[in-house]
Structure 1
Amino acid sequence: MNKLVVFLLLILYLSSCKTPEAREPESVSTGSFIKESAERNKKLFLLEQEQIETYIANQSDKRFLTSEHGFWFSKDTIQQDTVLKTPAFGDLIKYEHYIADLNGNIIYTEEELKTREYLMDKQELFTGLREGLKLMKAGETYTFIFPSQKAYGYYGDENKIRTNIPIVTQVTVNSITTN
């Protein structure tokens, strides 16, 4: 009888010892969110591009150029002095600007924004304006059109600029102090 109990326990022990099996995942991610987000962004880009092209067509007094950084600009006043340089890394730029939407509605006036100081590439500034300031010399005024992804993007400025709004800004660089 003891041999039978030992034999049954041995069989039970051996049959309970097996290698672990992989479990099936509870949910499978197909990447559909990323695909949907990419499609939504493409549609938004095309819509903004159409709005910007319409805006430019209605600006007969300005000649807009396309930047390699994904925005448009018009040189309103150009500095003819060849000695003046565009800003380099760390230079202090004093500038004034206002921000409007594509319908011409002023979002922030120059008085609200006041004269600003910016250390080139050492301080936070939205992408489009940071790249736009690199094109300018002291004394010049440019008008920039920034699509939302180069301006305040998905979040806006959490104040007056709503989400995904392309903006127009006229910027005057007062001075550039070399670092």
Structure 2
Amino acid sequence: MNKFLTIALVFLVFACKTPEARSPVSVKTGSFIDASVERNKKLNAREKASIEKIMKQQNIDYIASESGFWYYYNNKAVIDTLKTPDFGDVVNYNYNVKSLDGNVIYTTEDIKTQSYAMDKEELFTGLREGLKLMKSGETVTFLFPSQKAYGYYGDENKIGSNMPLICEVTVNSITEENQSR
């Protein structure tokens, strides 16, 4: 009987052992993220090369913005007293959208005249940053890489995934925030 009790006690002690964490069969250290970063770098390089080719073909001195797009003034304001919009100012503008090969995606008539409260409403990144550079009466042509345009999702209509764009924008007026109330 003592042997039986000793064996039962030994089994009981080993059976009550706490569970140990198991090691994973395979270890993946951010491989999806690394692959995504590589894809985006290649996409960005291809788009930049396409945009640079267009700028060279057009023989126009585009300005590289700090935000990662290029632009030139079709019509630049000559009056120094005009100001660029600040936070909350309402910008009244027209624009069109083209693909890099020059095909019109949306005409000015399709889009109609827009009013935008600066940084208070949704607008694709490139256009929002581009409007900040403009004064009333100016027309500017922007070349936006896809990450500054509609990115991966497009506009779910005519603008596809990862599509760089050309936009010609005219600012009709800028109304200061305290005057628009």
TM-score range, shorter chain: over 0.9
TM-score, normalised via structure 2 length: 0.92
Q: Which runs of 5+ in 2 are unaligned?
A: none
Q: Corresponding residue for 2:20? A: 21
Which of 141, 144, 152 is matched with 2:142 structurally? 144
Q: Does the alignment pair 1:59 with 2:58?
A: yes
Instruction: State the partner residue of 1:31.
Output: 30
Runs of 4+ aligned residues of structure 1 deviating over 3 Å after TM superposition are: 3-8
Q: What corresponds to 1:47 in structure 2?
A: 46
Deviates more, 1:14-23 or 1:152-161: 14-23
AA aligned opposite 1:47? R
Aligned-residue identity in percent: 55
1:117 paired with 2:115, answer: yes
Cα RMSD for the two superposed structures: 1.4
Q: Which residue of the other structure, out of 76, 79, 90, is the alignment partner of 1:81?
A: 79
Q: How far is 1:26 from its partner?
A: 4.8
Take 1:122 and 1:15, find their aligned partners in 2: how far apart are those partners? 65
Structure 2 SS opposite 1:161:
coil
The alpha carbon displacement at 1:170 in A equals: 0.5
Give the drift of 1:12: 2.5
What amino acid is the match of 1:10? L
Residue 98 of structure 2 is matched in structure 1 by: 100
Q: What is the TM-score normalised by the length of structure 1?
A: 0.93
Comparing 168-177 with 31-40, which one deviates more in the overlay? 31-40
Distance apart, 1:109 and its partner CA: 0.2
Distance apart, 1:114 and its partner CA: 0.4
CA distance 1:15–1:164, shift in 2 (3 Å): closer
Letter in 2 for 1:100: K
* Distance in 2 (alpha carbons) for counterparts of 1:27 and 1:176: 58
Between Structure 1 and Structure 2, how many residues are aligned? 177
* 1:177 shift after superposition: 0.3
